[in-house]
Amino acid sequence: MSAEALATSATQTNAWEPKIIAFCCNWCSYGGADSAGMGRFQQPASARIIRVMCSGRIDPLHVFNAFLEGADAVLVTGCHIGDCHYVNGNDKTKIKYKYLENVVHELGIEKERLQLNWISASEGEKFANFIRDVTAQIKKLGPSPLKPEGVA
Amino acid sequence: MQKGEMYVGWSTKEEVRKRGGSGGLVTSMLAAALEKKLVDAVVVLKKINEFEAVPIITSDVNEVLNSAGSLHSVPSHFAKLIANRNLKVALPAKGCDVRGIIEQGKRNAINLDNTFIVGLNCGGSMHPVVTREMLEVMYKIKPEDVHGEEIEKGKLIFETKDGKEHAITIDELEEKGFGRRESCRYCTIKVPNNSDIACGNWGVTGDLVGKATFVEINSEKGAKLLQNAIDAGYVQVQKPDDKGIAMRGKIKGVMEELGKKWKGKIFVPIETGRLEYFRKELEHCIDCGACKTVCPTCSCGDISKCTQYHSRGDAYKMSMYHLVRFLHLADACIGCGQCSDVCPVDIPLTRLYRRFANPVQEQLKYEPGMDMQKPPYFEVKLNE
Ligand SMILES: Cc1cc2nc3c(=O)[nH]c(=O)nc-3n(C[C@H](O)[C@H](O)[C@H](O)COP(=O)(O)OP(=O)(O)OC[C@H]3O[C@@H](n4cnc5c(N)ncnc54)[C@H](O)[C@@H]3O)c2cc1C
Ligand code: SF4
Ligand code: SF4
Ligand code: SF4
Ligand code: FES
């Protein structure tokens, strides 16, 4: 490959933006995403946010669906343990996540592609940093092996 | 009689004693429960031939008495048969049957208070199609000529109609890909202490070998069953000797160790290419749904989360149907092998499902079907 072609392919790799699906709880991490924007914390445009009323609503099925439709990473986020607005929705999230994590791992999907984080509405910077870190990790890994043919 | 006690017993009916796997105690106990109205119905296998039998729910004492004998090539499963029927029932049950019944009990599909589970020690069962092939390839006999079958000292012995016996060690058969179903090889429940009463031939000594059954009472219901059969004059028991008790414990231990060894051999970690492995194995799935229908721990109806995705439209890089089930069975799978047995395109499903269940059940220290512990999925908090 000529030096020029190498350079273009390098920029192309760098230019590739992963698609990250972030499930956010209405009462915390969704607010966190909002705060991130308002606080003007720099973050890549890789995240697609799906708002749910509580992290406990996130069915493992939603996560599988996101992967199968082409997500390069899926983030499960919710209120800090003890702060769930529906008493213990996030405790249930924790249990479901344990199963999910195992299934995704056994399936041979890199662990960076599925992550759990508790982020409150005031933690805008934490949200922005999280998206930035995950984006960098996924850029290194490249597109998800579960992505359907023809989906960018 | 109470929990923890052990006996050696046999049927008082000559015909049943002769035909029974080891003395006909199980059959007689079931028949007595029916006759004395301890239960309204009994589940037994109705034999068609050496390789085929259908499970039936019957209230006919004679039909129960006629069922005496062990069929090693009939890997049936009884949990779903009695689920959602609200029966007062007694039934024989291999370890995996017991586990399925308990899991259905947890899901309120079976009332365990009304279910008398007669556990059978189980070294393993065979797939009927594989058995027929094995007879031709390994034993060089026609399946139609088989008259009877038994397992003795690690050998699988077939008796042909001409009275001749043909024996090959199970190890040799399994080396060649025959013998017990794969799930039975790594099954670790050899004496079903999760049943009401555990019955088997291990531990029977001296003149009684082959003519009596060793029983261990595991619950009040188990004690009631046996006492009822004695009172009704159907069975006789005596105390086992120390040698028998020790022998039974030893064989149990050896079999469990062997199971663990098989588990290690079959579930060698796949370091790379796992996704490709699963994709390849599942690529011929024809979406028939049989694996869900037979699964004894699933209590979902015909329309459930996995079946929503079960169509030719499930053309993603991984089957959504199986992904949902891999997750749902991670804590529930009892490794009974039913899914592999029924798959029309021979996908080794149990092997695939256990790949997900093994780590989850180990991490959560949860063994489904062994006791009444609630599935971790239904706990509000994880006890880590
Ligand atoms: C597949 C299998 C493997 C076994 N392996 C061992 C072993 O390794 N060690 C040991 O000590 N004992 C084993 N047993 C138990 C043993 O063969 C006898 O069943 C037991 O000792 C009771 O003898 P019995 O004469 O009292 O039973 P019987 O009076 O002969 O009654 C047997 C009852 O079991 C039912 N039955 C027969 N075949 C099956 C089947 N495939 N699935 C479910 N129910 C069935 C019959 O309908 C009948 O009701 C096994 C049994 C089976 C079915
Ligand atoms: S899975 Fe276990 S209990 Fe069931 S038939 Fe096989 S060895 Fe017996
Ligand atoms: S997934 Fe297969 S092996 Fe596991 S419990 Fe269901 S039918 Fe049995
Ligand atoms: S039994 Fe086999 S073919 Fe049928 S749905 Fe299950 S895996 Fe697919
Ligand atoms: S309300 Fe935020 S996790 Fe339940």
Give the nearest ligand 5 atom to A85 CA. Answer: 1
Q: Residue A124: is its pLDDT beyond 50?
A: yes
- Is B140 a member of any domain? yes
B11 and B149 inside one domain: no
* C-beta separation of B347 from B281 below 8 A: yes
Q: Residue B379: is its pLDDT beyond 90?
A: no
B256 and B346 inside one domain: no
Q: Residue A8: is its pLDDT beyond 60?
A: no
Q: What is the pLDDT of residues B325-371, one digit of tens each?
A: 999 999 999 999 999 999 999 999 999 999 999 999 999 999 999 99
Q: Can you tell me the distance from the alpha carbon of B316 to that of B318, in angstroms, rounded to the nearest whole number?
A: 5
The preferred substitution site among B10, B26, B70 for testing ligand 1, maximizing ligand atoms within 8 Å of CB, is B70
Look at the block and give the residue holding tokens 């986020």: A77
pTM attached to this predicted model: 0.94
B344 touches ligand 4 (CB under 6 Å): yes
Q: The complex's ipTM?
A: 0.89
Q: What is the pLDDT of residues B233-277, one digit of tens each?
A: 999 999 999 999 999 999 999 999 999 999 999 999 999 999 999
Q: Residue A138: is its pLDDT beyond 50?
A: yes
Smallest Cα–Cα separation from B262: which of B336, B184, B365, B330?
Answer: B184
Distances (CA, A) of B177 to A32, A134, B171, B173, B174: 58, 47, 10, 7, 5
Q: Residue B283 belongs to what domain range?
A: 274-378
Confidence of residue B49 (pLDDT cuts 50, 70, 90): confident
> Is A33 in a helix, a strand, or coil?
helix
Across the range B138-164, mean pLDDT stands at 91
Which residues of chain B make contact with A62, given a CB cutoff of 8 A? none
Confidence of residue B382 (pLDDT cuts 50, 70, 90): low
User: What CATH number has the domain bearing residue B172?
Assistant: 3.10.450
Domain count, chain B: 3
Smallest Cα–Cα separation from B323: which of B284, B273, B282?
Answer: B282
B27 and B81 inside one domain: yes
Tell me if A91 and B381 make a contact (CB, 8 A cut-off).
yes
Q: Can you tell me the distance from the alpha carbon of B154 to that of B96, in angstroms, rounded to the nearest whole number?
A: 21
B196 and B169 inside one domain: no
Cα of B188 vs centre of ligand 2, distance in Å, is 8
B307 and B247 inside one domain: no
- Is B268 a member of any domain? no
- pLDDT above 90 covers a percentage of chain A that reads 84
Give the nearest ligand 1 atom to B27 CA. Answer: 29
Which residues of chain A make contact with B273, given a CB cutoff of 8 A? 108
Across the range B4-16, mean pLDDT stands at 97
- Is B384 a member of any domain? no
Largest pairwise CA distance in chain B: 63
Q: What is the side-by-side strand order in the sheet with B89-94?
A: B52-58, B41-49, B89-94, B115-120, B197-200, B213-217, B6-11, B235-238
* C-beta separation of A18 from A72 below 8 A: yes
The pLDDT assigned to B148 comes to 86
- Is B206 a member of any domain? yes
- Is B64 a member of any domain? yes
Tell me if A106 and B359 make a contact (CB, 8 A cut-off).
yes
Q: Which segment of A101-110, A112-121, B58-67, B154-163 scores lowest on mean pLDDT? A: B154-163
**Tokens describing residue B325:** 């089930």
> H-helix or E-strand containing B43?
strand B41-49
* C-beta separation of B143 from B135 below 8 A: yes
Cα of A54 vs centre of ligand 5, distance in Å, is 4
> Is B74 in a helix, a strand, or coil?
coil
* C-beta separation of B251 from B214 below 8 A: no
Q: Does B383 touch chain A (CB under 8 A)?
A: no
Confidence of residue B87 (pLDDT cuts 50, 70, 90): very high
The pLDDT assigned to B149 comes to 87
Q: Residues of A89-113 as b/e, b for ≥16 C-beta within 10 angstroms?
A: bbbbbbbbbbbbbbbbebbbbbeeb
Domains located in chain A, CATH noted: 18-124 (3.40.50)
Tell me if B317 and A68 make a contact (CB, 8 A cut-off).
yes
> Is A30 in a helix, a strand, or coil?
helix
Question: What average pLDDT does the structure give for chain B?
Answer: 95
Q: What is the side-by-side strand order in the sheet with B165-169?
A: B146-152, B155-160, B165-169
Q: Can you tell me the distance from the alpha carbon of B197 to that of B98, in angstroms, rounded to the nearest whole number?
A: 11
Instruction: Report the chain A residue with the minimal C-alpha distance to residue B376.
Output: A95
B77 and B110 inside one domain: yes
Q: What is the pLDDT of residues A17-53, one digit of tens each?
A: 999 999 999 999 999 999 999 999 988 999 999 999 9
Q: Residue A9: is its pLDDT beyond 60?
A: no
- pLDDT above 70 covers a percentage of chain B that reads 99
Which of A92, A100, A146 is nearest residue B327 as measured by Cβ atoms? Answer: A100
Which of B275, B323, B381 is nearest residue A108 as measured by Cβ atoms? Answer: B275
B244 and B164 inside one domain: no
Q: Can you tell me the distance from the alpha carbon of B272 to that of B258, in angstroms, rounded to the nearest whole number?
A: 28
Confidence of residue A7 (pLDDT cuts 50, 70, 90): very low
Q: Can you tell me the distance from the alpha carbon of B50 to that of B143, in angstroms, rounded to the nearest whole number?
A: 9
The pLDDT assigned to B383 comes to 58
Q: B272: distance to nearest CA of chain A, Å?
A: 7
B351 and B218 inside one domain: no
- Is B289 a member of any domain? yes
- pLDDT above 90 covers a percentage of chain B that reads 90
Q: What residue type is assigned to position A87 of the chain?
A: V
Among B237, B261, B285, give the residue marking a domain's end: B261
B79 and B198 inside one domain: yes
Which of B274, B380, B382 is nearest residue A106 as measured by Cβ atoms? Answer: B274
Question: What average pLDDT does the structure give for chain A?
Answer: 91
> Is A140 in a helix, a strand, or coil?
helix
**Tokens describing residue A87:** 């008493």
Q: A146: distance to nearest CA of chain B, Å?
A: 6
Among B239, B261, B283, give the residue marking a domain's end: B261
Scanning B234-294, the segments in alpha helix (DSSP H) are: 242-266, 274-282, 290-294
Q: Residue B147: is its pLDDT beyond 70?
A: yes
B219 touches ligand 2 (CB under 6 Å): no
Among B179, B214, B243, give the residue marking a domain's end: B179
The pLDDT assigned to A13 comes to 55
Residue by residue, DSSP assigns A69-133 as TT-SEEEEEEPPTT--TTSSHHHHHHHHHHHHHHHHHHTT--GGGEEEEE--TT-HHHHHHHHHH
B286 and B257 inside one domain: no
Q: Mutation test of the interface with chain B: which of A69, A84, A95, choosing the one with the most B Cβ atoms within 10 A?
A: A95
Q: Does B352 touch chain A (CB under 8 A)?
A: no
Phi, psi of B212 (to 5 degrees): -145, 160
Q: Does A82 touch chain B (CB under 8 A)?
A: no
- Is B266 a member of any domain? no
* C-beta separation of B51 from B131 below 8 A: yes
